[in-house]
Amino acid sequence: MVTGAGSGIGAAIAEAFAAAGAHVFVADRDENGTQKVTANVVAAGGKATALRLDITNEADIAAARAAIAQPLDILVNNAGVGAVGTILTTPTADLQRLLDVNVTGTFLVTKAFLPAMLERKKGSVINLASIGGLVGIRDRFAYTTSKFAVVGMTKALALDHSASGVRFNAICPCRVETPFVAKRLAEYPDPVAARREMEGTQLAGRMARPGEIAAAALYLASDEAAMVTGSSLVIDSGWSAGR
């Protein structure tokens, strides 16, 4: 199952996993998005099922678990939200919203699906964090706070369940060309200048592409990554190299 799979990185991961032979549960609160991605997977010869899922809603999570009705081999916690601002310009409500989705939502989904993985002694949980979960990002107080928590959660899961056969890893991308980032750009007084700044933080001079993040998720879910757990895979085109 891939959460937040209705667009962007989540959609790319769902499509990559389906192309590799997985039956993908495309989960998102955006039902139009899940239907579109599922249709794309099926049209390409893959297997996918659309699920309406708000990861902050425990009833939604229970319904998704009932609908899947089998242990997951792979869980990708990709759903997330962001906001622009320093501590002085971030309303309490914005901080709480990011913590509710990025941290508590990831916690709730993992807690719901992990027991079946542990029982089978097999599985891979991949959390989408951010380079902002490893280094500070200017004007991203709430987002950075929440993504540091996701990285910490991933490490705690790996340690607590080190002998379980289930692996836990995080992916920490730089800025990725997605609808999510487009919304963040629109929040700036000068979106064009903001885009130039975002692209300039990567040594490649561009944002990453969703497919590049999907390739990393595919690796972490594979048997080739059997020795990888508790890790944060950085995909930032050198952004953090000098920090």
> Which active-site residues does the annotation give?
143
Return phi, psi of residue 47, to 5°.
Answer: -115, 130
Mark out the alpha helices in the chain (DSSP H runs). 8-19, 31-43, 58-68, 92-98, 106-120, 141-160, 179-186, 191-200, 210-221
CA distance 21 to 54: 26
Residue type, 4: G
Q: Are strands 74-77 and 47-52 parallel, antiparallel or unpaired?
A: unpaired
Give 233's Cβ-side CA count (13 Å radius).
20
64's CB contacts (< 8 A; 6+ apart) are 1, 25, 27, 51, 53
Residue type, 116: A
